[in-house]
Structure 1
């Protein structure tokens, strides 16, 4: 009997999780990019029998290491290789040994194709039988994967990001799945509203938008009877809220920091401490640390430590403001260390699933969001559950913002960003009554877009920014109500329903005007 292969899923953490949970494979590895696949190859962890899957989310980030090169080389060396139909549709040509699958494939069909059919018997817990080759490429056996072909190196002499120690995955350490037997089940996730962040690795939760675009595997038949696992509460999945704009200087960072501070402080007062995280993905500027008067640890410390990106290792590298129980993943300490070969959208994309499992809300400060900026297209667009866009009372920049919003909401086949407009909420930032561009004018210039609040041009807030004490700022009652309105809409959490009383009638009128337009 052929033994089910070790499996490498390249480009789809959701499918990797489903196949890992099936219990049909000794180990399921998860690689997001060609760089991760190369590092996994060099680690020597993957040995025959082995199978490889390439999904549309795979990042071809090494020159000369596209999916056709990798898939054809692996298939020619005797490994089972599946590629998503997306690659053939884009014009890639594959060796006949490479299996190109349909966009929709049932899990049972996928298991059968990979040699791990659901009906196939599995070895018992005491079985020590040596695995048989899978498949049999000939009398010589498969070529060791690491010797298949020389891997392309990074351009400009950059070193690859530190890989994990041997036996550890670059996402979360995949553990061999024991065969079914009499053993204690894993404890169910804590459904309480304020659980402490988990301390061990677990499979990342896929973004719904990314999973649906891949469509692999397809829908599964309903089980005959609910199992104990199915009845358990769903794993925690925090909500990601990004603050972004196509123009710098409109207050992205001050807005993201202010909202995260307000949310953490408010949730702490209602008994939900430690449920808010702030992430600085604008790593070339990294101003979040300055606004909060923090220095370390930073994401660079996390990269240098290497190892798996488990909840505990990531948590150990978050800065913490104890007074409000806010956690923050700071950017690198200076521009010299902001090397995109080490710190990039791929790294943040691996960290975000870990933060989702540890926090209720994850606020993200972003770089300037040009339509073709990879942090925006590869991280923010697919991962954010809500996108907040600050705009200023400036007619020229409002027209530019209107053009950008149209571009990012166009379908991707029209070279747009494909963003659901329902994800977007606009904030009028630094609002003033004496610049011939008040809230009424903003609404006229931005018809059809949802505004969720007005943040006035406030001297106390600017002083807090200049003194690096934005985390200590206690907003006046009207600004407090504005933050609460914004959070209520982007989180859909009833804890933010109660609005603070207004102290300023004109500002209150502005807020009512904009909220009435949504």
Structure 2
């Protein structure tokens, strides 16, 4: 019989799932940040017999809580600590008691490194699979491919496979070797989301562009409103949220005719960044079941020391737990701007890029896409081109640069739809009647197709959302002037 400590995996949900699936550990905790690790430590649930694994995407979101500080402190306190080789390569110095792991390890090596004593293998057993990488350098933990992704439907009766359940504090105290730990891992800071053994992850869809004025906000709101309506019809009311991350020029509230609560109100709420507290402090559009995290009411209200990309990353982590779809309106996405580089690139499962039919700006778009997918400088995180989806927005039939030319100039990039210019939408926004605005069949078909391609969720089927005649033919039909 194998013996093993309780395990905390910091910074890699995929590794946590694999180690949990081995069945060797009494419990496996999955945390993504220093603030979550702090809260887990204060809860007393970890136990005195515990091992900690630090993976490359651990978020050092508290002052003085870098991986080296945490790992060295835990090792000196008697815990088993394993850190990924990336941390030593970036110059971190670790206590000799800290184990530095290779980038590729077999499961048996990883188990041995965190203190699992396994039975001697029998001679007839098959050889162990070759070592696997913890993660691809420069990329976040791998998620299922977007094209094949089907999000869980809350109304479905199917249950997830059983996994170890966290025990109450009394049960923890009764287990041998799991007495409460009084050591506080990191100093107190603003409250963060609580740590759970099982976290449901919704999909984060960001709408981004390197240029303003191309309809980012209107595209974000359109997609969010239609998604909320379709989810409501499917019995999944309250499963969509839109986040205004353009916190210096927040316009989502104006589109939805909402004023509060805003992100500033959320920060004043008790337990501000727990998943339930975030959900309970969102603005709500009851007509369609859409929730919204509104930005600050004006640029003067923004304190960059509190309202920044780190805060939004923690909020997105919480929103993933309680929503199936998280739409994010972004500021102008210059590659070196921190909100884009530190929030959108690593956190978004899909990045929708609205375009305008302008030959000059299309060349700039191509350069921008190259900068974020094939970075020449380490300051720009790399993002997979598979995450990027192009939309021709506010298209008109009376311009020289038509949809075919747009696609030819951006050959090789994936186009998922064309949104024609819509005067009815503009009037509805100006008259604050957006919720009563009906989507025409062509527009709804286009938006459904975009959402279907991005998420793979069957809720977007219908109205021939996946057209058989190809993107270019679809664009031609949408732009063909109707005969009177």
TM-score by length of 1: 0.68
Count residues in correspondence.
Answer: 421
For the structure 1 residues 125 and 146, does the alpha-carbon distance in structure 2 shift closer, same or farther, using more than 3 Å as the test?
closer
Per-residue deviation, 1:473: 2.2
2:244–2:293 contact (8 Å) kept in structure 1: yes
Residue of structure 1 equivalent to 2:452: 488
Counterpart CA distance in 1 for 2:458 and 2:79 is 52
Q: Is 1:396 aligned with 2:391? A: no
Counterpart CA distance in 2 for 1:107 and 1:75 is 22
1:389–1:425 contact (8 Å) kept in structure 2: yes
Counterpart CA distance in 1 for 2:43 and 2:110 is 27
- Choose the corresponding residue for 1:162, options 190, 193, 198: 190
1:162–1:303 contact (8 Å) kept in structure 2: no
> What are the residue-to-residue correspondences of 1:271-290 with 2, within 5 Å?
271-290=235-254
Residue of structure 1 equivalent to 2:400: 436
Per-residue deviation, 1:244: 1.0
For the structure 1 residues 347 and 20, does the alpha-carbon distance in structure 2 shift closer, same or farther, using more than 3 Å as the test?
farther
Counterpart CA distance in 2 for 1:73 and 1:273 is 45
For the structure 1 residues 52 and 371, does the alpha-carbon distance in structure 2 shift closer, same or farther, using more than 3 Å as the test?
same
For the structure 1 residues 8 and 125, does the alpha-carbon distance in structure 2 shift closer, same or farther, using more than 3 Å as the test?
closer
> What are the residue-to-residue correspondences of 1:389-428 with 2, within 5 Å?
389-410=353-374, 417-428=381-392
Residue of structure 1 equivalent to 2:193: 171
Residue of structure 2 equivalent to 1:87: 87
Residue of structure 2 equivalent to 1:167: none
Q: Is 1:383 aligned with 2:347? A: yes
SS at match of 1:396: helix
Per-residue deviation, 1:147: 9.2
Per-residue deviation, 1:330: 2.3
Q: Residues 457-500 of structure 1, C-alpha deviation per residue, up to 9 Å, x if partnerless? A: 33222222333433332233332332233223223334434338
SS at match of 1:371: coil
Counterpart CA distance in 2 for 1:458 and 1:295 is 25
1:240–1:362 contact (8 Å) kept in structure 2: yes
Structure 2: stretches of 5+ with no match in the other structure = 120-169, 466-470, 480-484
Per-residue deviation, 1:258: 0.6
Counterpart CA distance in 1 for 2:348 and 2:78 is 40
**RMSD over aligned Cα, in angstroms?**
4.0
Residue of structure 2 equivalent to 1:227: none
Counterpart CA distance in 1 for 2:172 and 2:185 is 33
Q: Is 1:372 aligned with 2:367? A: no
Per-residue deviation, 1:368: 1.8
Residue of structure 1 equivalent to 2:96: 96
Per-residue deviation, 1:240: 2.5
Structure 1: stretches of 5+ with no match in the other structure = 135-141, 152-159, 164-169, 175-201, 206-236, 502-506
> What are the residue-to-residue correspondences of 1:12-31 with 2, within 5 Å?
12-16=12-16, 24=25, 28=29, 30=31
